[in-house]
Structure 1
């Protein structure tokens, strides 16, 4: 009996560590201003389980990023982005988002998209409320690179809209 308990203890410890490892909800957005192409290029890293949960809201069955039809996933991802992330040249503006692709990486997914601009800019308005309706403790970290400058911002409940300047 003691031997069995001794063998089960490491398994229980590993399971509790796995549950603890994802005790927070966060995303990381790498946003790059490309003045030559007049666009904003975005790479967004999301925990896969959070991503699937958010995509599944309002659906008749759970969405799996790896098993659901790719066309369905792409449509749902684009809808999620359009209602949660707005990039504009002024507050309240939401320029069109073009989904470039989704890439699986371990326990996360990268979502790549672009936003076309009409002219060169020195600032952008960003609304980033991704997953806040699903996870109230969600933190969305944004790393901006523009004109050789880098800055980081934090978007969370009550701080969903910020001005990015360079």
Structure 2
């Protein structure tokens, strides 16, 4: 009986890390207006494997995340559906330029811009990777606000007020 108890204990011990592991799916963005005040500049950090999955699902075939023209084009098209601004009058402002990508083992940074009218009240729709993982949360820090005013986006609340206009 002692030997059986030891085997069960070891099996539970070996299996415990996987059972206790809780994957965390989150993104973080920093947002700031350019010097002319007509373009929102965005730095967005995501999990590379989640972005790769989103692009693969969207395309219908395997996409390997790499900084090349094809993946940049796919990424910009994905962002245009999942990270955008809305005005009160219903105008939609989408990412227009992907300035760069940094792809690492544990994070991918995407740098892009959204041309928008700062005279308008704007809300941010941030549903990045919520199509991949239902528990995805996205944080966005408008650099003109205090750090404590970071916005939190969830599947239940993917859009929030961002800019009150000039």
| TM-score of the superposed pair, with normalisation by structure 1 | 0.76
| Structure 1 segments unaligned to the other structure (5+ residues) | 1-8
Query: Does the Cα contact within 8 Å between 2:87 and 2:120 map onto a contact in 1?
Result: no
The structure having more radius of gyration, on CA atoms, is 2
Structure 1 partner of 2:102: 103
Per-residue deviation, residues 129-155 of structure 1 (Å, max 9, x unmatched): 111122111000111112x65420100
Q: Secondary structure at the match of 2:59?
A: coil
Q: After TM superposition, where is structure 1 displaced by more than 6 Å over at least 4 residues in a row?
A: none
Query: Does the Cα contact within 8 Å between 2:83 and 2:94 map onto a contact in 1?
Result: no
Instruction: Output the aligned Cα RMSD.
Output: 2.8
What displacement does 1:123 show?
4.3
Q: Secondary structure at the match of 1:57?
A: helix
Find out whether 1:73 has 2:71 as its counterpart: yes
Between Structure 1 and Structure 2, the one with more strand by share is 1
Question: Are the structure 2 counterparts of residues 72 and 81 from structure 1 closer, same or farther at C-alpha, using a change threshold of 3 Å?
Answer: same
| Structure 2 segments unaligned to the other structure (5+ residues) | 1-10
Query: Does the Cα contact within 8 Å between 1:89 and 1:121 map onto a contact in 2?
Result: no
